[in-house]
Structure formats: structure tokens, C-alpha cells
């Protein structure tokens, strides 16, 4: 006759959490989680092939934390949503603004009370170049 046992749940063991995605059933033996170094690239860059760095000049976005001289991380793979901060190309110039749709109209919003929102008309040459994901600033 088969014996049926109840699980012993009185003792707990801590098991290491694998840092890397594990495909069903077979973890990668080559990854040694104990010696893993923290890589800033992994933290910041989700889509390496689609990620670019740009430098900011000017302060029209300062209220969002993007300041003059900052290094901006732009991800072209991310879908922009309402209120995303994007790098856009408008009528021959690059800019960084927050996109906002109001009553079916698209606006590029600055983050500085000294600047006015820009309404994007159909006649304008406009494209979203990528979504801003991080601003890296040096603390002096």
C-alpha cells in the first residue's frame, strides 16, 4: 500500500533567488549569483539596441528634474503615453517636452513657468524620437 505523507512545514530554509530569468526547468549554471556585480547598465538600459544618450542644454524642463547639462537616457522601444517626457523633432529642431493630449489636440508641455506649451498642428513636421527614461546629473 502507498503511504501518503503530509508536508513538514515547521522548518524554513532560505533559498537563493536567481537574479537571471530562468527558462522553464533549467537554470543557467554559468551565472554565479554570489559574485554578481551591480551593473548600472542593467539598471538603466532595458533595450540596449534602442537606447541612446543625449545631452540637455537649457532649463525649460527643470521642474521635472531635467536640468541644463544633464545626461538623458532615451529609449526608442518604449511606447509613449499621455504625459510621457519625450525627445521629439519639431519643424527642424530637436526638443524634449512632455506630451499631452487635450481635447484631441497634441501639446508639448514645458516644465518651467517661464515657457509656453506648444500646440502641434497637422502642418508641422513632428515626430517622437524616443521616450526619456532617466536623467543623470552630477552632484557637485
Partner 1 sequence: MNKVYALVDCNNFYVSCERVFNPKLAHVPVMVLSNNDGCVVARSNEVKALGVKMGEPVFKVEGLINKHNIQVFSSNYTLYADMSKRVMDTLKKFSPDIEIYSIDEAFLSLAGLGLNDYSNYGHNIRETVKKWTGIPVSVGIAGTKVLTKSANEIAKKYNGVVDLINCSDKQIDSYLDLLDVSDVWGVGHQYSKLLRSNNINTAKDLKYADTKWVRKKMTVMGERCVFELRGISCFELDKYPEPKKGICSSKSFGMPVESKRDLEEAISSYVSRAAEKLRSQNSYANILIVYITTNRFKKYDPQYSNSAYIRLREPTSSTIDLTRSALSSLNKIYKSGYKYKKAGVLLEGIQTNKQIQLNLFSSYDRKKKKQDNLLMKTIDMINKRWGRDCVKLAAQGIKQTWNMKRSRLSKKYTTNWNELLEICV
For the segment 7-26, give every residue that binds partner 1 (CB under 8 A).
26
Give the residue from 135, 139, 140 showing the smallest Cα distance to 70: 135
For the segment 81-100, give every residue that binds partner 1 (CB under 8 A).
87, 89, 92-97
DSSP SS3 for 19: coil
Phi, psi for 42 (deg, rounded to 5): -65, -35
Q: CA 22 to CA 28: how far, in whole Å? A: 7
Binding-site member from 6, 37, 55, 140 for partner 1 (CB under 8 A): 55
- Residues in touch with partner 1 (CB under 8 A): 26, 28-30, 47-50, 52-61, 66, 71-72, 76-77, 87, 89, 92-97, 110, 127, 129
Which of the residues are catalytic? 60, 97
Amino acid at each position: 500500500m502507498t503511504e501518503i505523507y503530509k508536508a513538514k512545514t515547521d522548518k524554513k530554509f532560505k533559498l537563493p533567488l536567481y537574479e537571471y530569468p530562468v527558462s522553464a526547468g533549467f537554470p543557467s549554471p554559468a551565472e554565479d549569483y554570489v559574485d554578481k556585480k551591480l551593473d548600472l547598465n542593467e539598471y538603466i538600459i532595458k533595450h540596449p539596441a534602442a537606447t541612446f544618450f543625449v545631452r540637455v542644454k537649457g532649463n525649460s524642463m527643470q521642474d521635472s528634474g531635467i536640468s541644463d547639462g544633464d545626461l538623458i537616457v532615451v529609449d526608442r522601444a518604449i511606447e509613449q503615453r499621455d504625459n510621457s517626457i519625450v525627445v521629439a523633432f519639431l519643424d527642424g529642431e530637436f526638443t524634449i517636452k512632455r506630451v499631452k493630449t487635450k481635447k484631441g489636440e497634441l501639446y508639448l508641455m514645458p516644465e518651467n513657468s517661464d515657457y509656453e506649451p506648444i500646440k502641434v498642428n497637422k502642418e508641422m513636421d513632428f515626430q517622437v524620437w524616443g521616450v526619456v527614461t532617466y536623467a543623470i546629473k552630477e552632484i557637485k
